[in-house]
Amino acid sequence: MRRLAAALVVLAGCGEQTSPFKQPVKLAGKLVPADTLNAGRVAYLQYCRACHGEKGDGKGPAAPGLRPPPRDFTQGSFKFGGVLDQKLPRDEDLVRIVRGGLHGTAMVGWDVPDRKLDEIIQYIKTLSPKWREDDAVGDPVEVPPDPWREGREAQAIERGKLLYHGFAQCLGCHAAYATRQYVYDASKATLGTGTTDFRADMYQPELKDSEYGVKILPPDFLFNDLRSIGKGTETHDLYRILVAGVTGAAMPAWNPVTLPNKEADIYAIAWYVRSLLEMKGTRAADELRQSLEHQAAFVPPPDDATK
């Protein structure tokens, strides 16, 4: 009899653990039924716990061996949410991340049934108080038609190279892919002042602080896979990331109105970065690296005031 009573207590405890939600919960302005959250918790433990941890804190049993570390859902911060103002992503953005995965990480694309995936997403929202705010979710990045398509791609790449090394100063974090003379000329042409203060190792990315408790190395486009870029949608995805930024990291959000030609310039940078990604692993990439390594010494031009 005592054993039976003890077994009933254990079973009752298990029931409470598998069905901890007794009432609907308001998340991101939407009331989510308790049944959905309980089902989501069970599926989360099945699919996600090993990396993200039982509590969603990124400390699952597999986490110590993973770099970059798994996302800590309790922070309520998602690098590639793809929304404005670096707010929380929409459900469809989370679906995109889960379905497509994050290249170069342990987060592979998951083929989870649609209903089960929605339940998991709703449960994940319970792990951070940020989702309890009605206005927590950001507006999506509107991606306009690409003005460079249909024969103007080469012009886009050249324009993007100029902006990357000049106006946008992407080489402040990422690697440079042009000579010091070109960087000087590009910054002179787009900013009015030629850059002569070069990083000591400007042909390598520079380690940056983040909000995730670890330093993040920005990608080298001739070496790294980009996290949230799909095959065949590269320019579209790069546009989204450039405008949304990377939440919690050093990558800022670029408002198109801050660039001389607005959306066209965002697309131009996207086309240039895409051209570097396509060069990765080729002889052309090796030749570019070698030419930069053996470039002629940069001699700053005379001060404009002496003209």
Q: pLDDT by residue (tens digit) across 13-37?
A: 444 466 899 999 999 999 999 999 9
Q: How confident is the model at residue 302 (pLDDT cuts 50, 70, 90)?
A: confident
Q: Using alpha carbons, select from 280, 256, 253 the residue that is nearest to residue 268.
A: 256
Is pTM beyond 0.85? Reply is: yes
Domains and CATH numbers, the chain: 19-132 (1.10.760.10), 153-300 (no CATH)
Integer Cα distance of 15 and 9 in angstroms: 10
Does 146 score more than 80 pLDDT?
A: yes
Residue 12 has pLDDT above 50, yes or no: no
Helix (H) or strand (E) holding 44: helix 34-47
Q: Is 216 exposed, middle or buried (0-12, 13-18, 19+ CB in 10 A)?
A: buried
147 Cβ contact list (under 8 Å, min separation 6): 263, 264, 267
Of the CA atoms within 13 Å of residue 97, those in its CB half-sphere come to: 20
Which of 189, 160, 191, 190 lies closest to 177, judged by CA?
160
Q: CB–CB of 262/221 below 8 Å?
A: no
pLDDT at 14: 44
Q: What is the mean pLDDT of residues 55-78?
A: 95
CB atoms within 10 A of CB 190: 18
Q: Which residues contact 280 (CB under 8 A, 6 or more apart)?
A: 221, 222, 223
Nearest CA among 27, 94, 85 for reference residue 247: 85
